[in-house]
A and B are shown apart, each in its own frame.
Chain A
Amino acid sequence: MLGCFYAAVSIGLSVSFGLLDVPHVAHPAIMVLGSYCTWMLSVRGWDPIVAGVVLMPLFFVLGVLIYRFYYEVFEKRGSDAGVRGLAFFFGLAFIIEVGLILVFGVDQRSVEAAYIGKSFSVGDFRIPMRMVVAFGVALLLTFSLSIYLSKTFTGRAIKAVAQDEPALRLMGANPVRIKQWAFGIATAVSALAGAMLIIVSPVEPAIDRLYIGRTFCVVVLAGLGSMTGTLAAGLILGVAESIVLMQLGASWAPAVAFSLLLIVLGIRPQGLFGR
């Protein structure tokens, strides 16, 4: 179940980085921003998931703006976008993180909802209700996104952009608009992922650093842009982390995602389900 959750937090990145080749290091930071927005709504009595869904259009606009800016400044100029684009997103991540620290302080925040404290047991296992909720939403999110990408016209267009941009331009479509749309979706999805993040565990501003490892690990392990691969890779990471947690203790857990990432990058950079 942790695995499905990891898949859900990574799926936005899978679109923005995997399909669009945008070096989106700020993805986890935007997700944490989503968590904090959810928290702000939930102290006013909103349900966190409802809050996450409400935030999606807002984050969609934010994503469109970020991409537009990125395109105008870096992609259009073409050469050497690599180093500077990376630096740009890295700086953005830090600005979001420190902005959150300045507004909310470094304390951990968590949300309240009817289903959060509860748990139920199946045989010997006790399963906390909050994980079930996150699991459900994660599954729904992954499947709806993968259906969207393979069945609808815009979804197919996004995949087409990923494969061959000049060809799409020749067909008379505007790749920039499609990418902008896709980046918007990716950001909107990370708002909902942020809501789940704060349901599953308390959130602090600097938590995005850990999730850089987890999300990129899942996306790279999955093979860039593969939605079902993302789900599988999330599961692998979740299981690996749980095993280490039980065998070696909590202090080793953060290294799992990063080590897995290094191993995958070193041995099979195209991932398990690569194109």
Chain B
Amino acid sequence: MSGRNFWIGAVAVLVLGVGLPLAPVINEYFFYAGYMVLTFVVLATAWNILGGYAGYVNFGPPAFFGVGAYAAVLLFKWVQAPLAAQIAGGAAIAGLLGFGVGLLTLRLRGIFFAIATVAVVFIMETLMINWRYVGGATGLQLLRPPVELFDSYTRMLFAVMALMSVAAVSIARYIQVSWIGRGLRALRDSEEAAESSGVPTLKLKLFACTVSGALMGAAGAPMPMYLSFIEPASTFNLSYTIGALGSAIIGGMSHWLGPIVGAILLGTLQQVVTVTISSEMNVLVVGVLLVLFVVAAPEGIVGLFKRIFKK
């Protein structure tokens, strides 16, 4: 897709994302479910910057997501900060965490990096469980402030999340087509070769970790307001990992479109299964789909389409 078409598409999505919640007709539940789908779009896109382009498997999306959410809660409780400030704060803190994780795990590759990110999730969860100010293990109730312009808070959150999705995808796309993406791909294929031909692998990895972390944090920041509640066990749940990683892999990791396709498909499926069957079943569905795609269609849906169009 050329640059111009992309921006036309982005603006169209944006108009739709903000316009729909303003229209009073559509069922409220649509926005409630749609918000989660959009959250997964952001998470999967963020995951793909590090996982898809650079080949570093990050099992830690819940850590960044959760830190973003808790940063938002902290700002809200402390100074009654507005949503935009909460999101900025969440993104900043999670980006910082991403930078830190990147710094600590620079020498690690493959499974060691993956396991280290799992460790970060559990350490963050334990910290929040033991921090009384933000609710500890029992959690914290939050009162939503009143909204203007939109009919309900959920509708506004949907619009905000649509905005963030477009922003996240634009960033991912920029990274993919710029020299940064080329560098990341080079270090995915061979870190030694990339380094010796002058690619600043260290800086690129740190950059990818930070951006990916910040986007996940931004995705997490409105979550407490969405639920009007926060609690460590569900915020730092590893099912966010399987959602983000599953979306990116099922959609296709090599292209920015992949995570979007995957997240919309998986997110919608998850919402449907959760409502019609049970929430355990939805994790099972994602797990089975993930294994199926990894085994049978490693290039994901986008890869499948590419193959069909080439013929």
Contacts and interface: CB of A to CB of B under 8 A. Distances in A.
Interface in A108-153: none
B115 interface: yes
Contacts of B20: none
Interface string A196-221: 00000000000001101100100010
Task: Enumerate the 7 nearest inter-chain pairs by beta-carbon distance, A residue then B residue, closest first.
Answer: A255-B126, A258-B119, A94-B287, A91-B290, A23-B111, A91-B291, A98-B284
A212 B116 CA distance: 11
Interface of A: 17, 23, 25, 73, 80, 82-84, 86-88, 90-92, 94-95, 98-99, 101-102, 209-210, 212-213, 216, 220, 251-252, 254-255, 258-259, 261-262, 265-266, 269
Contacts of B245: 87, 90
A251 B123 contact: no
A262 B130 contact: no
Given A94-B283, A269-B107, A269-B108, A213 B57 contact: no
B55 A80 contact: yes
B295 A213 contact: no
Nearest to B296: A73
Contact of A265 (B55, B108, B280, B287): B108
B242 A262 contact: no
Nearest to B129: A251
B120 A99 contact: no
A73 B293 CA distance: 12
Contact of A23 (B105, B110, B280): B110
B290 A87 contact: yes
A91 B294 contact: yes
B110 to A, nearest CB: 5
A95 B284 contact: yes
Contacts of A23: 110-111, 114
B280 to A, nearest CB: 5
16 contacts: A25-B115, A82-B55, A83-B55, A84-B249, A84-B294, A87-B245, A91-B246, A213-B119, A255-B122, A258-B123, A261-B115, A265-B105, A265-B112, A265-B119, A266-B104, A269-B107
B286 interface: yes
A102 B120 contact: no
B272 interface: no
Contacts of B291: 88, 91-92, 95
Given A83-B51, A216-B115, 9 more contacts: A25-B114, A90-B241, A91-B242, A91-B290, A95-B291, A98-B284, A102-B280, A255-B126, A262-B120
B288 interface: yes
Contacts of A255: 122-123, 126-127
B44 to A, nearest CB: 13
B118 A212 contact: yes
A266 B105 contact: yes
Contacts of A258: 118-120, 122-123
Interface in B96-117: 104-105, 107-108, 110-112, 114-116
Contacts of A252: 126, 130
B126 A83 contact: no
Nearest to B111: A23
Contacts of A212: 115, 118
Most chain A CB within 10 A, of B105, B284, B290, B294, is at B294
A109 B209 CA distance: 40
Interface in B262-292: 280-281, 283-284, 286-288, 290-291
A90 B242 contact: yes
A84 B104 CA distance: 24
A88 B295 contact: yes
Contacts of B14: none
A103 to B, nearest CB: 11
B35 interface: no
B59 interface: yes
Contacts of B239: 94
B298 interface: yes
Interface string B229-260: 00000000011011001100100010000000
Nearest to A94: B287
A209 B238 contact: yes
Contacts of B81: none
B33 interface: no
Given A23-B114, A83-B57, A212-B118, A251 B284 contact: no
Nearest to A217: B119
B126 A86 contact: no
Contact of B284 (A17, A99, A213): A99
